[in-house]
Amino acid sequence: MNLQDLHNLTIQWGEDRNFYNPEHGTTALKQFAKLVEEVGEIAGNLSRGRDIKDDIGDCLVVLTGLAKLSNTSLDKCWEVAWNDIKDRKGAMINGIYVKESDL
């Protein structure tokens, strides 16, 4: 499957479960909290040397729902981020990229 197929399947999965229906209490803030939980699972598994594919996938599922709840899409968010970083200058410091304005 490609990214678009997975995106569509994830959106449909959420729709089938009334995930995007505000009457069921889902909010962007609650989904952000869920995302933080999933990111914590990545950290835990990285520190234990375990595979993190499922954890990254879980983050993508939550981000897909968070984007839909926020009336946008991962594509649009990714495009905004890309346009923000594409010409960015900076340096790798201790394994982390630091943008020029923060050096």
DSSP class of residue 48? T
Q: May I ask the CATH class of domain 3-102? A: mainly alpha
What's the pLDDT tens digit per position in 45-97? 999 999 999 999 999 999 999 999 999 999 999 999 999 999 999 999 999 99
pLDDT on residue 37: 98
67, burial (CB in 10 Å: exposed 0-12, middle 13-18, buried 19+): buried
The answer to whether the beta carbons of residues 70 and 22 sit under 8 Å apart is no
Domain parsing of the chain, residue ranges:
3-102
pLDDT on residue 83: 97
DSSP class of residue 25? T
Model's pTM, two decimal places? 0.88
Q: Label residues 17-49 b or e (16+ Cβ within 10 Å = b).
A: eebeeeeeebeeeebeebbeebeebbeebeeee
